[in-house]
Amino acid sequence: MRICILNTFFPPWRGGAETYTYYLARGLSNLGHKVEVVYAAPFKNLTEKSHENCFEGKVKLHGLEILFWIYGVPITPSLPLRLTNLDFDIIHVNFPNPYNAYIGAYISALYQTPSVLTWHNDLPPVTSGAGALARIHDSIISHFYLKWYWRIIATTRRYISLSQILQRYKSKVKVIPNGVDCNRFNPYLNGNSIKAKHDLEGFHVVLFVGALTRWHKYKGVDVLIKAFRHVTDRRSDVKLLLVGDGDLKEWYEKFSHSLSLEDKVVFAGNVSDKQLPFYYAASDIVTLPSKNCSEGFGLVALEANASGKPVIASKVGGIPEVIIDRYNGLLLNPCDEKALAHAILQLLDDTDLRLNMGKRGRKFAEAHDWKFTVKAVEETYVELLTLKKEPTFNRLRLKRTVHN
């Protein structure tokens, strides 16, 4: 098959959809398919030329110039022409990115090309203005492109029930969970070099991995920092390690200082993909304190479990299908700093509980390796290409609007 994958960005830009795109492209190319990835290049050094050795020539990458941004979404005017000039049997688009989703749907309808949309999460209402735009998109705009997609992939069953948009198009939705690289993330890595780098020797480490931008305020970093103040009131042998960067990093640093946590909260900034597994190895507990359903899956939880670490996470979005309470982690109500502090202290105080959750987490992660995700997506492509051969399918599909 000739496959085109369209995503907002591409690694080294860090994000769940970017990780998904990378492993999907790699896995499909390893199965013998011709894969091309189209994405926005936020910096000049992130064009396809900088990635030419990323897949050893097996995947063609197209980094497009950004003209401007809307609602945190990069607008790449050259996208329609680039897609028109590519030759592919199927197009696979990743959401949340309404611009890409609209263009992908247009190309699909124009050329009768089977199309797939992976719905990672709804648009996050990070501000009142952004929330208003999200409501307009969800109630009006989304209908103009979602009706053209042949299949929509959700990463958890739970998110289908939480998303009003997915409910409306439920007959098109197929659940394919995200995956994790169990070779890259594993319990046998040594995190001592990371501890030495950040002066963490002799301390227990609580880890957070995620973007520190205003579009990711739903990650709950402020709640985590407030909770950590309560943790340090009880124990002096623990530090919080934050991996990630963004326009809110300085604010989080000042907030930590205002709580007298400047010596207890470590901001590591962005780290390379090569080094990231060693940050998990250096930790004792990984946290995912997301505030709302903008957290569609929580890849960090799988990476932590693959590394043999328990996860403390919020009961929001798709997380409860990744973290099973008291099995591979602890689930809490969102935005409850005291409950989060109590959970951290509980796992720090009970070594056996912490280690056993980590071991069970590893088993859970092994059942969710990326190879299973890639195979399920490939089967979806084959299903759609088979449907395309049926003479009546396209005419019926193009006239149909699915509402449930």
Convert the pLDDT of each residue in 299-341 to its tens digit: 999 999 999 999 999 999 999 999 999 999 999 999 999 999 9
- Provide the token pair at 156: 């958890």
**Three-state SS for 217?**
helix
Please tell me whether residue 264 adopts helix, strand or coil conformation.
coil
- Indicate if the pLDDT at residue 380 is higher than 80: yes
Q: Are 211 and 14 in contact (CB under 8 A)?
A: yes
Express as a percent the part of the chain with pLDDT over 90: 79
Global pTM value: 0.90
* pLDDT confidence band for 55 (50 / 70 / 90): low
First vs last C-alpha separation in the chain:
32
- Percent with pLDDT over 70 in the chain: 92
- Domain coordinates of the chain in residue numbers? 2-179+370-399, 192-366
Mean pLDDT of 361-378: 97
Q: Which long-range contacts (CB under 8 A, 24 or more apart) does 343-349 make?
A: 343/312, 344/206, 344/227, 344/228, 344/231, 344/238, 344/285, 344/287, 344/312, 345/231, 345/234, 345/235, 347/284, 347/285, 347/310, 347/312, 348/204, 348/231, 348/235, 348/238, 348/284, 348/285
pLDDT at position 136, please?
Answer: 83
pLDDT of 197 above 60: yes
pLDDT interval class at 13 (50, 70, 90): confident
Residue 61: pLDDT over 50: yes
Q: Which amino acid is at 173?
A: V
CATH topology for 192-366? Rossmann fold (3.40.50)
Is pLDDT at 355 greater than 50 in this prediction?
A: yes
Q: What's the pLDDT score for residue 404? A: 37
Report the Cα 404 to chain-centroid distance in Å: 27
* Angle, CA of 163, 181 and 35, to the nearest 5°: 75
Q: With 0-12 CB in 10 A as exposed, 13-18 as middle and 19+ as buried, what is 177?
A: buried
How far is 228 from 255, CA to CA, in rounded Å? 12
pLDDT tens digit sequence for 100-150: 999 999 999 999 999 999 999 988 776 667 678 778 887 888 898 999 999
Interval 250-273 mean pLDDT: 96
Q: Does domain 2-179+370-399 have CATH number 3.40.50.2000?
A: yes
Average pLDDT score over residue span 43-63:
65
Note the pLDDT of residue 394: 53
Phi, psi of 311 (to 5 degrees): -125, 135
The more confidently predicted of residues 236 and 49 is 236
What's the mean pLDDT in 223-243?
97
Same fold, 2-179+370-399 and 192-366: yes
Report residue 287: phi and psi, to 5°: -115, 145
What pLDDT does residue 125 have?
Answer: 74
